[in-house]
Amino acid sequence: MSRIGKKPVEITSGVTAELNNGSFKVKGPKGELSMSFVKEVNAKLEGNELTVTPVDDSQRARAMWGLQRSLAANLVEGVTKGYQKDLELRGVGYRAQMKGRNIVMQLGFSHEVNYTPREGVTLATPKPTLVTVTGTDKQAVGQTAAEIRNFRKPEPYKGKGVRYVGEFVRSKEGKKK
């Protein structure tokens, strides 16, 4: 039994949800999102609650049960609160600035790194060493933050690079004389 799958997804006030032939659409104050359920689970919308149940007792149906419920809950949370990831640039001369919708970063390379975010994701630089990624789609926000971090991952000797705010990077000992 899936502990997560058993919980119903509560549709909060100010959010309209509709379920048609396995496709789930949610509209709220921050935007509109949709997903389609896999054939191994059944979804039922009753009042302001969405319940997900497996079709049979197969391994795949039980695995998809909790996953599909979590994805539906993420849609509801995305259109009400939204998602945000903060990235920190550490290193001498490492900085970021906005140019329109794009972000331009100096990360210790001989060239600047330009990044264009995907649709539905907005970038901001409140400080030159802080990048904020916000949006309604949890997967898109996380993927965008991971792509920016991937330009210069934090290295273990000096700790330079792009890291998530609050991320701990274990430092190694350097060479000994």
Averaged pLDDT for residues 154-159: 92
Work out the pLDDT band at 22, boundaries 50, 70, 90: confident
Write out pLDDT tens, residues 112-139: 999 999 999 999 999 999 999 999 999 9
Averaged pLDDT for residues 52-63: 92
**Measured distance CA(157)–CA(163) in Å, rounded:** 14
**Measured distance CA(90)–CA(159) in Å, rounded:** 7
Q: Which two tokens stand for residue 151?
A: 């330009």
Task: Please give the pLDDT value at position 168.
Answer: 93
Task: Please give the pLDDT value at position 145.
Answer: 96
Work out the pLDDT band at 37, boundaries 50, 70, 90: very high
Averaged pLDDT for residues 11-40: 92
Q: Which two tokens stand for residue 53?
A: 């149940």
Write out pLDDT tens, residues 65-103: 999 999 999 999 999 999 999 999 999 999 999 999 999
Task: Please give the pLDDT value at position 3.
Answer: 85
Task: Please give the pLDDT value at position 126.
Answer: 95
Question: Distance between terminal CA atoms of the chain?
Answer: 58
* Dihedral sign computed on CA atoms, order 146, 150, 155, 156: positive
Mean pLDDT of the residues in the chain: 93
- Report whether pLDDT(175) > 90: no
**Measured distance CA(136)–CA(139) in Å, rounded:** 9
CATH number for domain 83-164, candidates 3.40.50.2300, 3.40.1410.10, 3.40.50.720, 3.90.930.12: 3.90.930.12
Work out the pLDDT band at 140, boundaries 50, 70, 90: very high
Class of domain 3-80: alpha beta
Domain boundaries, given as residue ranges, for the chain: 3-80, 83-164
Write out pLDDT tens, residues 9-19: 999 888 999 99
